[in-house]
Structure 1
Amino acid sequence: ANRELVALGTANFFGSAFGSYPAFGSLSRSKIANSAGAKTPLFGLVASFIVLITMLFLMPAFKYLPKSAIAAIVMVAAARLIEFHFEFLWKIRAYKEIGLTLFTFVATFFFGAELGIVLAIGISIFLVVKHTTLPSIEVLGRTSAGRWRDLRVMKGDAEMFPGILVIRIDESLYFGNIEQIVKMLNRLLSLGRLDAHPTDKSVLSEDIKGLVIDARNIHTIDANALTVLKDMFEDYHRRGIEICFAHLKDDHIRNLYKGGLTKLITIEHFHFNLNSAVNYLQDKRSKIAGESVASSTESAKSSPV
């Protein structure tokens, strides 16, 4: 079918300079040719000859043929062009894609192909915008087997670490979602839940001082997102919150440094896995706590009785 389209396009391109009759084809016609065993463009000549003979001598035989029979021929040919993946989509619970497919079918059936396609495109754009304004962020916990899983899925079978929040961002960062992502992070740091209302009480046992971001699914970061990240890092630095990345791509690390973040984040804040990042924050917190205790003890000894 692809070769036929290229051949038709080339023929029409050069033929238009000589006023030739435009050649044309269709997917259903190509499917019929393939089902008939056609291997070369000679099929077009044979088919044209058969059509000519039919039009000249056999038309009376089709006088009483109902239009539904002709429609059935076209439907049978067109049905084989459709690849059905409903079983696969159902297994992976892609209900949104199934619903969109069924809606397109119904809209095309009742309102025509053009309006059905326009409605399907409109809904697809709406879903993309909705997905952009509601980015996917998961709060992770470590299971007894040492794996990191979404706390909403594990429901108590995964543990959090006091003072440390581990999240995974399943989106590329760009101008359309970065502001929303920052708001969601601030809500997590203050309340511990994405679905919490600003007036709700925090579910955190203590204030968050360390944030670990699983960045394996962050494929791109545009310039606007980089600027917002810089402002976010500066804000968290003033609040005493340290940020670490796990699985961040090398290109993104270089862009962070080129963006002037070397004073806020160093090579120690980039890790190959989540366990390494969490261990780094825990060790640093322990060290700071030890220095604080030592400073308090020294101050107590030096003070007069």
Structure 2
Amino acid sequence: MTLDSRLPDLLRSALVSKNDPAFLDLLSESLPGRPGDLTRKNVLSSLRVYLRWAEGEGRAVLNAGPADAQAYLTHLLIKHDGAPSSVHNHLTRVRTLYRVLMNAGAHPGPNPYLGLKLPTNRPEEHRDFYAPAEVERLLFHAGEEGRALVALGAYGGLTGPETVRLRWEDFGPETGRLTVATRDLALDPLTHAALRTYGRTQGVGDLFGGTGRLFSFINDHQLRAALYALCRTANVNYRGWRALRNHAGLRLLRLTGDPQQVADALGLGTLKATEPWLKVGLTKS
């Protein structure tokens, strides 16, 4: 029996024993790039990530179907905050893996990673935006906590980690001010109202305020997962948390016409970071 004829069984055995290096070594001659070069290193890195995900999720690599591919796309969208280039790169490499597996007779086909609806790989340094109508839909479909989250991103311009770290001590219910890192923000009426309403569901009133973490999220990944779920409920294309922040930057730039004010409000270290918003300010609505 030749190695080629035994390859599907050898691959299956490597997966069963959770020996990812052996699995990838068996396919090495068919993978893009040459041993040790950057292309091969990037391919192997992406495939290791995929194999760890599949193992953790209990997904059958050699029998993967469209539902498995969609689940991995969802995982990447959340993990990479909707960044198109990262998602495209990872999925291109996994799609190549299944082409190799099909050619080796180790996957029945068709390639489950063909035909996925991927995020648009936009210009302007890949800065994507939620349109005002999309933000309105998110706010409409959200509960009290979700409205506070969306408002903090789309109007307050907070980053994901900043939002996760917020404490009730940072919020002044009566003054409408919020302390974020070294910034003292005057909240817009919508965000102020959303936080007050959410606070009341948490037993936080206007007179004495509250203590402890503002949200229950432990990390940025959980925050993005909550936003992804809300986007599905509101029928809004998920573009990541950063797209909420980009909406805030563009909105403030249009309101003030002052890049420095935008940079100060969003905690940007340089005006260069506002350039993508300046480029699209006249065309995005």
TM-score by length of 1: 0.21
Higher RCO (CA 8 Å, separation ≥ 6 residues): 2
Bigger CA radius of gyration = 1
TM-score by length of 2: 0.22
